[in-house]
Chain A
Amino acid sequence: MHDLMPITALGGTEARIDAFDHVTITENDGLALASVAARIGHEKPCHATLKKLLGAVPGPGKAILHDPEAGFWMGPDQWMIGAPRATHELLADQLTTLFGETASVTEQSGAWVCFDVTGPAMQDLCERLCAVPIRRMVAGDAQRTMIHQLGCFVIRRQDADHIRILGPRASAGSLHHALITAAHSTA
């Protein structure tokens, strides 16, 4: 085993939690991510493997919140697969084996910062951040959008007061600042 200690996207040794009365913003440092893109001519077997993995193939704008893996649609014939990092550190390798020649798999764990936003004012906060129609979204909706000029994924999770935001990791600090600012605005 190597002795290199990872740090979180916000630069800490532990994930950051910001709790307010109306909303809680949690840095989620426990995600392994990899993208899966179907190879041309192999769409059907690729979909079949996705279905086996997630229970269904996420359509445009949709996520499948399967346990332990989850996945959402990124673009035509392209999905992001996530799983707990503790058990899936080598997720990309595992998926490469699983999909074989039917898909192109790319490790994405390091590319994203993940924030879970929960609480009764989640929707108010979301309205100050991005143009997704948050009050119309249902569990499993996943939309790419701009937050503070950053391309982010917003995923409506199972609990009605919970969204997960994936943003570019290098801008984790700026994204976090935008979330905290919106939390103060909506307090």
Chain B
Amino acid sequence: MTQSNRIGRAQVDFTKTLKFSFDGKSYAGHPGDTLASALLANGVRLMGRSFKYHRPRGPLSAGSEEPNALVELRSGARQEPNTRATTAELFDGLFAKSQNRLGSLKFDLLSINDRFANFLTAGFYYKTFMWPAAFWEKLYEPIIRKAAGLGSLSLKDDPDVYDKGFLHCDLLIIGAGPAGLSAALTAGRAGADVILADEDFRMGGRLNSETFAIGDASGADWAATAVAELASLPNVRLMKRTTVIGAFDHGIYGAVERVSDHMHTPDAGKPRQVLWRIYTKHTVLAAGAIERPIAFENNDRPGIMLASALRTYANRFAVAADRRVAIFTNNDDGHRTAADLHARGVKIAAVVDVRPNAPSSMDYEVLHGQVVDTKGRLGLTFAEVKLADGSMRTLDCGALGLSGGWNPNVHLTCHQRGRPTWNADLAAFVPGADLPAGMTVAGAAQGDLSTAGALSGGAKAARQALGLKGRMATLSEAEDAPVNITPFWYVEGCSRAWLDQQNDVTVKDVKLSHQEGFRSVEHLKRYTTLGMATDQGKTSNMGGLAIMAELAGKTIPEVGTTIFRPPYTPTAIGVFAGRHREQEFHPKRLTPSHKWAEEQGAVFVEVGNWLRAQWFPLPGETTWRASVDREVLATRKSVGVCDVTTLGKVDVQGTDAAAFLNKIYCNGFAKLAVGKTRYGLMLREDGIAMDDGTAARLAEDHFVVTTTTANALPVYRHMEFVRQCLCPDMDVQLISTTEAWAQYAVAGPNSRKLLEKIVDQDISNDAFPFMACTNITICGGLRARLFRISFSGELAYEIAVPTAYGDALMRKIIEVGAEFDVTPYGTEALGVMRIEKGHAAGNELNGTTTAQNLGMGRMISKLKDSIGKTLSQREGLNADGDLRQVGIKPVDPGDPVPAGAHLMNADGPIDAAHDQGYVTSACYSPNLGHAIALGFLKNGSERLGERMQLVSPLTKVHVDVEITSAHFIDPEGERLRA
């Protein structure tokens, strides 16, 4: 098909031709076209089907407010539903399909819905499918799911990437129409850092759509010249294809730049879109205005458009929606469309104006009356006009332009809960007084609908924002017509007259909802879904409000608007994720021995962001248990090594360092000798255990504190809170050293013998007893730290070197440990050994347990104040029969004792009321040959040896167990001190 509807020249590059496909048919267009303009040029008006009734639809607009012309753009994994043909920039090879149809677009099988419209009115989903209940899941929902929704998803991973970015400026200007360009020229010439963002791919706004002159240039040429000047200024950043989607607190704006959407596929490595976070001191909102339609019977046929859109297609894209056009207007602006189209050779069937005093024309007929109905199955063919004298006229036309007045684009002025105010002269809402901080509104967005008003408003807004003094530069002469409008929202007596074309909400629906008692505008919205589609009611909300006001006998401002929320236009979820997806969802933290562990074939587990070796499978080991059991047994038999770098480490220095530790730990630290380490328990102020670890005193005024891996950050934050907010004069300085040191646990009866091979100093039991710590050197001179602490219950050490040497130290330990069969072990074996030893960990310090529960109540020093001490003494936390940590083993050694299961009395009922406690940590103990567990039991320390039932009704666990000491291995601690 040829481009039969091209009329003259415009801002489209006719020297190049772009091929594209719509619903399987090939067409041609040109650079500068949108998909909608190119389809119209090819005589295609029908572009989609409506949401509910599957009515045939064509474009209503020529911009981002489009409710109708939604297509599935691209194919395969890149297929994107609900793409507005009116903003989709044409590129060579563009592939698009219409959506929301069953069968072909012209013969949509679901258009039968239109015949059953009486069943699908407002709130139909609350009424129609109620009965019988069983039908809902089996019948109604599947059918509705199939029929509803607009486009379909590819259900494939998005192959494109998205970036995030951050920009700073003095002045952000939103919209590059006459007001925005004027503001940018003013601010840019004054040297301010300016960002000018516009959602279109061509800057200029309405100037590209109009025939007005500015000075001696056409509006479009003036805009091009202005853009060229701005591009030459180093302090101005021009961002076309960039939609500012939200105005957030304190001058932060979100903007989506469509970097690659105008290309077939993004360049390699390049993002499809970028989500910019813009920090600005001042903002000029110059977002323009959107024309609104008028509602009448069957006002939704393809070919019926906003009059301004017809003008845009003609003047910017050289496209006539049809060769015979009628206009229906309530204001002077509608007549401009007729004049412009006439000038391009389009036949004007008539201009129908509701006003008796409409301007007349020499070129075409102006009728005083209203369009009351239309005809045309898949596109407009006739418009029925009722003249003021009551007589009827039928207009032969393929396009009908509607001009119901202009709504300033107040959207972003309301993102901080601002409310627009009513302007009776414009019959529209304009920005209210409570704008987001730093924002000024200019041009049509402010209600200055003339070009001259926009140019001066933009310049003034920029001067005001930046505090510029001196005389304002003279602006070029431009169109300055006053607004002349008689409010007119819908034709009386109409019922199937569409307000929200995307969600298929009619005048009748609004009336019905009012009749059923939905009187608040927010209720109206939710009951009828008016304005809830992807276009958020940009062209429909006002009509709904007006009808509601009339029914309620109120004024439109009394009814008010619904709340405007970001994003301004539909935004791909991918751009909010940015690069944070799949493997890059969050950063990884690798331990110093990671490279070595990978070489050993370790299986890793994520702990927070850390990747820790979970176990090290050997050839022939087919289950994780085989590897873990071996690691545990080998460590207890000889020696094992484990990377424990992930434990949080905080360097605490200062003359008050010991006093500080006394404050944050419930047990005492003041008397800890230099060269010694002590276990410490930290409470929250409410007396609940927060974290535990060790503190090693390296000098009188220097401690190294460890935290659990998971709590490193919150504990550090808490320590800074105590230091800065509670004890501001304590001489204590904190810094995290978690990653500064590679730290390995070397555990087992041969650990000393192994370490003696690399440590340069004497570490015999006398020289370096249990809980000792010191700075040492290893391997002939590398600085290191040695701690004699044990999580496994064995004779054990932790040795630390600067991180860069961690890899070499691990290899050295394995090398010199070969004669002892040194065995690397992972977090699973670590966990087994700590359960065997009865050490509490995260499962026990779970945010609900006290020191008393953990059997450490006596650790809370009475001799000093500490965080949590006072509230830990509360009666309720110290009642008889409280939970106590115990060990649990199965009576039958073959039974499991799963974590999460609950303890019940041996002969008692099994229900929540008789719950006695629960299992927190469980494992198989290869040393004991059966499962073991730690848990909390009411009055547990008095119940050792008692038999109980362990149950988990949900997982069908029911096991007889015996309560034991939590210390399954070496309860006297002789191994530690060996």
| Direct chain A–B contact by Cβ atoms under 8 Å | yes
Q: Which residues of A contact B738 (CB under 8 A)?
A: 111, 170
Chain A, residues 160-181, CB within 8 Å of chain B (1/0): the string is 0000000011111111011001
Q: Which residues of A contact B586 (CB under 8 A)?
A: 149
A28 touches B (CB below 8 Å): no
Interface of B (DSSP majority class): mixed
Complex Cα distance, B651 from A35, in Å, reads 11
Give residues of chain B (634-668) contacting chain A, Cβ–Cβ below 8 Å: 645, 651, 653-655
Complex Cα distance, B651 from A38, in Å, reads 14
Give residues of chain A (124-173) contacting chain B, Cβ–Cβ below 8 Å: 127-128, 130-133, 135-136, 148-150, 168-173
A104 touches B (CB below 8 Å): yes
A110 touches B (CB below 8 Å): yes
Work out how many contacts link A and B, with CB atoms closer than 8 A.
152
Is the pair B779, A2 in contact by a Cβ cutoff of 8 Å?
A: yes
Q: Which residues of B contact A136 (CB under 8 A)?
A: 168
Is the pair B591, A170 in contact by a Cβ cutoff of 8 Å?
A: yes
Give the size range of B's interface with the partner.
35 or more
B584 touches A (CB below 8 Å): yes
Q: Which of B558-566, B796-804, B877-885 contacts A (4 or more CB under 8 A)?
A: B796-804
Complex Cα distance, B782 from A6, in Å, reads 11
Give residues of chain B (706-741) contacting chain A, Cβ–Cβ below 8 Å: 729-731, 733, 735-741
Q: Which residues of A contact B167 (CB under 8 A)?
A: 127
Identify the interface centre among B274, B588, B733, B801: most chain A CB within 10 Å of its CB.
B733
Chain A interface, number of residues (Cβ within 8 angstroms): 52
Is the pair B803, A111 in contact by a Cβ cutoff of 8 Å?
A: yes
Is the pair B270, A4 in contact by a Cβ cutoff of 8 Å?
A: no
Is the pair B742, A110 in contact by a Cβ cutoff of 8 Å?
A: yes
Is the pair A110, B803 in contact by a Cβ cutoff of 8 Å?
A: yes
Is the pair A135, B735 in contact by a Cβ cutoff of 8 Å?
A: no
Give A108 Cβ to nearest chain B Cβ, in Å. 6
Q: Which residues of B contact A133 (CB under 8 A)?
A: 168, 279
Give residues of chain A (1-22) contacting chain B, Cβ–Cβ below 8 Å: 1-9, 11
Is the pair A109, B584 in contact by a Cβ cutoff of 8 Å?
A: no
Please pick, from A40, A110, A111, A175, the residue contacting B587 in the complex, using a CB distance under 8 A.
Answer: A175
Q: Which residues of A contact B580 (CB under 8 A)?
A: 148-149
Complex Cα distance, B163 from A170, in Å, reads 24
* Chain B residue, CB-CB nearest to A77: B733
Chain A, residues 98-115, CB within 8 Å of chain B (1/0): the string is 000000101111111000
Q: Which residues of B contact A185 (CB under 8 A)?
A: 163, 269-271, 274
Identify the interface centre among A39, A109, A178: most chain B CB within 10 Å of its CB.
A39
Q: A41-B731, A109-B802 given as contacts; is B590 within 8 A of A7 (CB)?
A: no
Give B760 Cβ to nearest chain A Cβ, in Å. 9
B189 touches A (CB below 8 Å): no
Is the pair A104, B801 in contact by a Cβ cutoff of 8 Å?
A: no
Is the pair A7, B808 in contact by a Cβ cutoff of 8 Å?
A: yes
Give A62 Cβ to nearest chain B Cβ, in Å. 19
A78 touches B (CB below 8 Å): yes
Q: Which residues of A contact B277 (CB under 8 A)?
A: 131
Is the pair A148, B587 in contact by a Cβ cutoff of 8 Å?
A: yes
Please pick, from B163, B269, B802, the residue contacting A107 in the complex, using a CB distance under 8 A.
Answer: B802
Give B730 Cβ to nearest chain A Cβ, in Å. 7
Chain B, residues 457-473, CB within 8 Å of chain A (1/0): the string is 00000000000000000
B589 touches A (CB below 8 Å): yes
Q: Which residues of B contact A109 (CB under 8 A)?
A: 740, 802-804
Is the pair A169, B168 in contact by a Cβ cutoff of 8 Å?
A: no
* Chain B residue, CB-CB nearest to A80: B735
Is the pair A106, B651 in contact by a Cβ cutoff of 8 Å?
A: yes
Is the pair A106, B812 in contact by a Cβ cutoff of 8 Å?
A: no
Complex Cα distance, B167 from A136, in Å, reads 11
* Chain B residue, CB-CB nearest to A111: B740
A37 touches B (CB below 8 Å): yes
Is the pair A107, B781 in contact by a Cβ cutoff of 8 Å?
A: no
Please pick, from B270, B655, B731, B739, the residue contacting A169 in the complex, using a CB distance under 8 A.
Answer: B739
B166 touches A (CB below 8 Å): yes
Complex Cα distance, B653 from A150, in Å, reads 26
Is the pair A171, B740 in contact by a Cβ cutoff of 8 Å?
A: no
Is the pair A110, B591 in contact by a Cβ cutoff of 8 Å?
A: no
Complex Cα distance, B166 from A90, in Å, reads 38
A44 touches B (CB below 8 Å): no
A184 touches B (CB below 8 Å): yes
Is the pair A173, B588 in contact by a Cβ cutoff of 8 Å?
A: yes
Q: Which residues of A contact B271 (CB under 8 A)?
A: 185
Identify the interface centre among A7, A9, A38, A173: most chain B CB within 10 Å of its CB.
A7
Is the pair B735, A35 in contact by a Cβ cutoff of 8 Å?
A: yes
Q: A37-B653, A41-B731, A108-B735 given as contacts; is B740 within 8 A of A174 (CB)?
A: no
Q: Which residues of B contact A148 (CB under 8 A)?
A: 579-580, 584, 587
Q: Which residues of A contact B279 (CB under 8 A)?
A: 131, 133
Please pick, from B163, B591, B595, B741, the residue contacting A128 in the complex, using a CB distance under 8 A.
Answer: B163
Is the pair B808, A110 in contact by a Cβ cutoff of 8 Å?
A: no
Complex Cα distance, B802 from A110, in Å, reads 5
Q: Which residues of A contact B587 (CB under 8 A)?
A: 148-150, 171, 174-175, 178
B386 touches A (CB below 8 Å): no
Complex Cα distance, B165 from A35, in Å, reads 31
Give A115 Cβ to nearest chain B Cβ, in Å. 14
Identify the interface centre among A1, A35, A110, A131: most chain B CB within 10 Å of its CB.
A110
Q: Which residues of B contact A104 (CB under 8 A)?
A: 651, 653-654, 701-702, 733
Complex Cα distance, B802 from A7, in Å, reads 11
B520 touches A (CB below 8 Å): no
Is the pair A2, B781 in contact by a Cβ cutoff of 8 Å?
A: yes
A48 touches B (CB below 8 Å): no
Identify the interface centre among A1, A169, A177: most chain B CB within 10 Å of its CB.
A169
B164 touches A (CB below 8 Å): yes
Is the pair A4, B779 in contact by a Cβ cutoff of 8 Å?
A: yes
Identify the interface centre among A2, A38, A112, A171: most chain B CB within 10 Å of its CB.
A2
Is the pair B589, A78 in contact by a Cβ cutoff of 8 Å?
A: no
Is the pair B735, A106 in contact by a Cβ cutoff of 8 Å?
A: yes
Complex Cα distance, B609 from A172, in Å, reads 13
* Chain B residue, CB-CB nearest to A112: B739
Give A149 Cβ to nearest chain B Cβ, in Å. 6
Q: Which residues of A contact B777 (CB under 8 A)?
A: 2
Please pick, from A2, A131, A187, the residue contacting B166 in the complex, using a CB distance under 8 A.
Answer: A131
Please pick, from A135, A170, A184, the residue contacting B739 in the complex, using a CB distance under 8 A.
Answer: A170
Give A55 Cβ to nearest chain B Cβ, in Å. 24
Please pick, from B268, B589, B655, the residue contacting A170 in the complex, using a CB distance under 8 A.
Answer: B589
Q: A127-B167, A136-B168, A169-B803 given as contacts; is B739 within 8 A of A181 (CB)?
A: no
- Beyond contacts A104-B654, A104-B733: 5 other A-B pairs, Cβ-Cβ < 8 A, are A1-B781, A35-B735, A107-B740, A128-B274, A148-B584
Q: What residues make up the interface of B, taking CB atoms closer than 8 Å to A? A: 163-168, 193, 268-271, 274, 277, 279, 579-580, 584, 586-591, 594-595, 609-610, 645, 651, 653-655, 701-702, 729-731, 733, 735-742, 777-783, 801-809, 812
Q: List 27 A-B contacts (CB under 8 A).
A: A1-B780, A2-B780, A3-B780, A4-B779, A5-B808, A6-B802, A8-B804, A11-B594, A39-B731, A78-B733, A110-B803, A128-B274, A131-B279, A148-B584, A150-B587, A168-B589, A170-B589, A171-B587, A171-B590, A173-B588, A174-B584, A174-B588, A177-B584, A178-B587, A181-B579, A185-B270, A185-B274
Q: What residues make up the interface of A, taking CB atoms closer than 8 Å to B? A: 1-9, 11, 35, 37-41, 78, 90, 104, 106-112, 127-128, 130-133, 135-136, 148-150, 168-175, 177-178, 181-182, 184-185, 187
Kindly list the 8 A-B residue pairs having the minimum CB-CB distance in the complex, ordered from nearest.
Answer: A110-B803, A184-B269, A104-B653, A174-B587, A6-B804, A37-B733, A4-B808, A111-B740
